[in-house]
Structure 1
Amino acid sequence: MQFVQDLFYFPRIGKGIFRVWMRNFTYFKYTIWVSIFWVFIEPILYLLGIGYGLGAFVNGVDGQSYIHFFTPALMSISAMFVAYFESTYASYTKLAVQKTFNSILLTPVTAAEIAVGEILWASFKSFLSVLGVTVVAVALGLLDITYLFPALVVLFLTGWLFASFGLLLASYAKNYDWFIYGQSGIIIPMSLFSGTYFPLSELPSYLQPVAYSLPLTHTILAVRSLLSGQIEPSIFINIAVLFVFALMFSNLAIAKLSRRITG
């Protein structure tokens, strides 16, 4: 069965992935300052509008102020959104519109290396967004940096997970409309019901198992636990879930995109 084969697809890859990454970075340098500007402005708007604005009407959540509750979630959804959009719209453009991947295949770079390079690039862009939120949050005194590094590792893993998911969708897509379905049907609902804006305990009991099946839920739980300093053994389950999702989507995306490029 093709799905099972793709799920356990572990291709041999080399330094070609870094050539793909560098190609994307070279193009990125033309708009780098505009991108960095929005990396810092966007979290400020979210923190002002939701963290402080909505937070003014909330006494507290789980023993902390609302903005301290919301900040780790903002870092998490930033990782998800940027990775998804970069690996869908941007990757599909290079795949089907500009035919960039076909041109790269004329060099000593394999189709699998193109796929991994695209995932790595989208993860990098995602991590830049996370760093923007982090810098703003630290400047506002909203983060305890004691366990910041492991939290950033979890967020990079999250970026890789959603970059892989987005690239998998791009490898099947026939047009840009496919990404609207993924965005409206999966990404946005996940951003709303993963403990982002309110505790999972406030969900109806029949929806809580659904929430815990979402990878973003485990990102938010892990990052919130690390940044609050209240680390519980369940964090290892959260990280394990993220790793399994990331590995699964990576293998599926690499296998499917490789076939589409070479087929």
Structure 2
Amino acid sequence: MSFRRNIYKSPAELRLMIAPGLATAASLGAVRSGIHAGVTTLELDAIAETAIRALGGVPNFMKEPGYRHTICTSVNDDVVHGIPGTRKLEPGDIVSIDSGAEIGGWNGDAAITVVVPDPTRPALVAERQELSDVTEQSLWRGIAALANATHLNHIGGEIGDYIESQGQYGILEDYVGHGIGRSMHEEPPVFNYRVRDRGPRVRPGLVVAIEPMVTLGGIDTFTREDEWTVATLDGAVAAHWEHSVAVHAGGIWVLTAEDGGAAGLEHLGVVPVSIA
């Protein structure tokens, strides 16, 4: 499989991707702080937009044809692309927030999953939190693998192997990660499971959004009547974590983490290196 040379950015272009990455991180941090039982997903959308615009950014999801919100809010059995609205979060809900910012024509894209506290159902909260934790840790293992991989698709094997080692989880196959840069979605695809093809070479200038999507059940999905929201066919709840990561001459840097990914990678023996 061949890939266009323009999947690799120049050092100057990588530096231009720092600002939108940090704006994306800020929006997710603000939304995380705003999540509680009773808040509407539309209120969370407003929080994210305010955070992005405060840093000089534009919500890049709004540039998707037909989409007019800053974030996607996917609750319980909704996996991705959930539309913010009047729905109020309830105790025990598991909600995935996907956000992105554009600054100067360059993009950031990231996602988190949060479980709304519910002291009356500790077992349910624990099960859903474990799902989120497994998904997040699979993301960090994929990022760590990127630091030493020769070809991109090696990281999908690392992500999938980790998830499978943790229990009976479903790894979505119809939705995968992607390259990112001038457009929010670019080549190449970034798989969350093992595939035969090695993919493009991992070398300085490669920037990818890694985003495992994992369920407590099966991997089959359908799109709801709003023509956006992707939900599990069996009603199983899901989690979604994502970061945009740059490979440069000195190493890797997680563009959508305020610390470049240091905290998430420390226990995996990888030290991110700031883009010079």
Under a length normalisation based on structure 1, what TM-score does the superposition of the two structures give?
0.33
Query: Which has the higher Rg, Structure 1 or Structure 2?
Result: 1
More helix by share: 1
Question: Comparing both chains, which one has the higher relative contact order based on Cα–Cα distances under 8 Å and sequence gaps of 6 or more?
Answer: 1
More strand by share: 2
